[in-house]
Amino acid sequence: MTEPALFARLVAASDRDWRAYIRHPFVLLLASGELPEACFRRYLVQDYLFLIHFARAWGLAIYKSDALGEMRRAQRLVAATLDVEIGLHVDYCRRWGLSEAAMANEPEAVATTAYTRFVLDRGLAGDRLDLEVALAPCIVGYAVIAAERIGDPTSRLEGNRYREWLEMYAGPDYQELAREAAAALDDQFARRGGEGRFSSLAGTFAGAARLEADFWQMGLEANP
């Protein structure tokens, strides 16, 4: 019998933390169109700051690689983050009245610092598998959240000011990126894993999911 893919096993092992993250009130309010704009703007600013550290994490992944193919994949993700994703995020934020200069001057929220440094710490202390497991709730989680919300009949798309955000992460390009990230976990586990590591990896994954939920909460608490 084939073992479930690593990502599915990690989700199953952290069920409560995972559900608290992917069905956080911030996400549900966003999908219904009822999320206050102040909350979303707060999230957008902090997500910009997060993306900078996201690029650093993929830079660390290059150093932590032991095969040229791994290095090239990480290099592509560094370039995609710096050259494409941050630019797209800035363009999107501009439509919400947020300039890049203003976002760059905004201090990091505690929740932003907590998750980004957690990811970098796991990568520095561990290996590439530890790093990618810490990143998975973000990379794969956004795809899961958007697809689930888009497919939920209680979500409101017509007239929802957050519809573009949902469709971006539910779209084929991002869904494929998430599938590749989940598949990479299996490859990493086969090369660097073994069942003896699963408990530690599950702890990392659950911790990252909790920190992601805290990131949503940070946005939600911006409501005046």
Q: Mean pLDDT of all residues in the chain?
A: 94
* pLDDT of 193 over the 90 cut: no
* C-alpha gyration radius of the chain: 17
DSSP the chain: -PPPPHHHHHHHHTHHHHHHHHT-HHHHHHHHT-S-HHHHHHHHHHHHHHHHHHHHHHHHHHHH--SHHHHHHHHHHHHHIIIIIHHHHHHHHHTTT--HHHHHTSPPPHHHHHHHHHHHHHHHHS-HHHHHHHHHHHHHHHHHHHHHHHH-TTS--TT-TTHHHHHHHHSHHHHHHHHHHHHHHHHHHHHH--GGGHHHHHHHHHHHHHHHHHHHHHHHTT--
The pTM score is 0.93
The arithmetic mean of pLDDT across residues 199-205, rounded, is 97
pLDDT tens for 10-36 read 999 999 999 999 999 999 999 999 999
Query: Which superfamily is assigned to 18-220 in CATH?
Result: Heme oxygenase-like (1.20.910.10)
Contact criterion met (CB below 8 Å) for 30 and 165? yes
Name the percent of the chain lying above pLDDT 90.
91
pLDDT tier for residue 194 given thresholds of 50, 70 and 90: confident
- pLDDT tens for each residue of 70-81: 999 999 999 999
pLDDT tens readout for residues 82-102: 988 999 999 999 999 999 999
Per-residue pLDDT, 94: 95
